[in-house]
Structure 1
Amino acid sequence: MSHSQVTRIFAVRHGETAWNVDTRIQGHLDIPLNDTGRWQARRMAAALADEPIAAIYSSDLRRAHETAQALGEAVGVAVQTDTGLRERGFGSFQGLTFKEIEARWPDLALRWRKRDPSFGPEGGETLASFYARVVEAATRLARRHPGEAIALVAHGGVMDCLYRLASGVSLQAPRTWELGNASINRLLYNGEGFVLVGWGDTQHLADGTRDESSDGDRVGHAA
């Protein structure tokens, strides 16, 4: 594929929610942005306002869609939802804090911390199936836009999958990269795979963002 056919991707994590602050697992629960999250979304949108973004794809969950809407308004592009960009389904873990999960199910929490690809909470997704879903969605959407720039607005777990996909890091490797709220991450899709260009850009935010995510992803935990 020639350089002119490469797809530029801006992968953006949603802004902060009250449950992010509480380190409470959101998963597929539809939690809105808090005031800080809405401010972060506006700042992210302003930072990308001059980019020639041809399409914006968002998780259908409210926290991501609200973030995507801010970007859509800034660049004049309608937001399209795609359930493939949803956070990992955490089933029985959803609504609980990390400490509560570890207290109730220490054995399951250990498998989660060790990033067991075959583990999924009751009613939730395994890490392996979640990763496969994200890879399928990102590849499908990138292939639609050769030679264009697109935005994928989603969740901490999705961002983690994209980083691993583009950098060749295994699913079970501990995470050493940040997944800040409203961070901008840059990738290329060349028709054969993804290439990491830049990660964790939060220069558009005046103060620090929370990396400890209750989407279901933190250092040592499954995405």
Structure 2
Amino acid sequence: MPAPVIYYIRHGETAWNAEGRFQGSQDIPLNDLGRRQAADAGGILTDLFARDGRNRSSLTFVASPLSRARSTMELVRGVLKLPTGGYAVDARLREIGYGRWEGATLAQMQASDPELFAARLSDKWTIPPPDGESYASVQARVSDWYNQLTSDTVAVAHGGTARALMVALGVETSDSAADLTIEQGAVYVFGDGGLRKYS
């Protein structure tokens, strides 16, 4: 059986995104721009499905449990003219946990723990934030999620889980993915052993 195609969307912008604050497990809602970005992603999906002759009703839809991802999913489904609540939630898609650094900016992280901050600059994939989660552990749970997929899927989650999935599927290395910008309002299509971004 061919590997499932994943249409991956990072949630739209929140106030903390705009302020450069790391959210992790904090449940920060979408701002106005974030809601527009979610609708834009829905429009991109509509065009992709029309181009590829995809029946949107035949796809699986799943989101991270955090409200910024769920709200994005509901706005996307609205644009697709699907019932807003017709999707699953999977905790394995939650954002990387930043522990005591949640709510902080990069400058505040560095000031609070300069030695750990410096160590993470050279090995962000395996060194977790204080009381937080490493990218390697996120990669393990995202791999677990991916390995149980049985159909093509629309997933709405986070920047951290996108990076982990890229590494899990071999389209990026841990070094290249660690600081990769994951665009909001875009659709990342994982399929045929590769990745394409549509924005």
Aligned to 2:110: 102
Q: Which runs of 5+ in 1 are unaligned?
A: 190-194, 203-223
Q: What residue in structure 1 maps to residue 94 of structure 2?
A: 86
Q: State yes or no: 1:164 paired with 2:167.
A: yes
Render the CA deviation track for 1:52-96: whole Å, top value 9, x for unaligned. Answer: 331111000011111111122233151211000000011101011
Pairwise CA distance, 1:42? 0.9
Question: 1:173: how far off?
Answer: 3.8
Number of the residue aligned with 1:196? 194
Distance 1:57 1:109, change over 3 A: same
Match in the other structure for 2:52? none
Give 1:176 deviation, angstroms: 6.8
Going from structure 1 to structure 2, the CA distance change for 1:117 and 1:167 (only over 3 Å counts) comes to closer
Structure 1 pair 41/55, CA: closer, same or farther in 2 (3 Å)? same
Determine if the alignment matches structure 1 residue 42 to structure 2 residue 39. yes
Change (3 A) 1:152 1:104: same
Partner Cα distance (2:160, 2:23) in 1: 11
Q: Which runs of 4+ in 1 moved over 6 A?
A: none
- Cα deviation, residue 178, structure 1: 3.3
8 A Cα contact 1:12 1:182, kept in partner: yes
**Where does residue 19 of structure 2 map in the other structure?**
22
Structure 2 match to 1:123:
131
What SS does the aligned partner of 1:56 have? strand
Residues 63/104 of structure 1: CA separation in 2 closer, same or farther (3 Å cut):
same
Whether the aligned pair in 2 keeps the contact of 1:87 and 1:157 (CA below 8 Å) is yes
TM-score by length of 1: 0.77
The structure whose residues are more often helix, as a share, is 2
**Post-superposition shift, 1:110?**
1.3
SS in 1 for 2:97: coil
User: Does 2:4 correspond to 1:7?
Assistant: yes
**1:133 to 2:141 alignment:** yes
Report the Cα offset of residue 129 of structure 1: 1.0
Matches of 2:135 and 2:179, distance apart in 1: 18
Gaps of 5+ in 2: 50-54
Deviation at 1:139, TM superposition (A): 2.4
Q: Please state whether the residue corresponding to 1:172 is helix, strand or coil.
A: helix
Counterpart residue type for residue 39 of structure 1? R
Report the TM-score when normalising by structure 2: 0.86
Q: Give yes or no for the alignment of 1:67 onto 2:64.
A: no
Question: Is the alpha carbon distance of 1:87 and 1:106 closer, same or farther for their aligned partners in structure 2, counting shifts above 3 Å?
Answer: same
Aligned residues: 188
Change (3 A) 1:104 1:177: closer
Tell me how far apart the structure 1 counterparts of residues 107 and 180 of structure 2 sit (CA, whole Å): 22
Cα-to-partner distance string for 1:129-169 (whole Å, 9 max, x where unaligned): 111111111222x2x21xxx311110001111122233343
Output the aligned Cα RMSD.
Answer: 2.0
User: Tell me, what secondary structure is at the counterpart of 2:46?
Assistant: coil
Measure how far apart 1:196 and its partner are. Answer: 1.7
Between the aligned residues of both structures, percent identity stands at 29
Q: C-alpha distance in 2, partners of 1:177/1:122?
A: 22
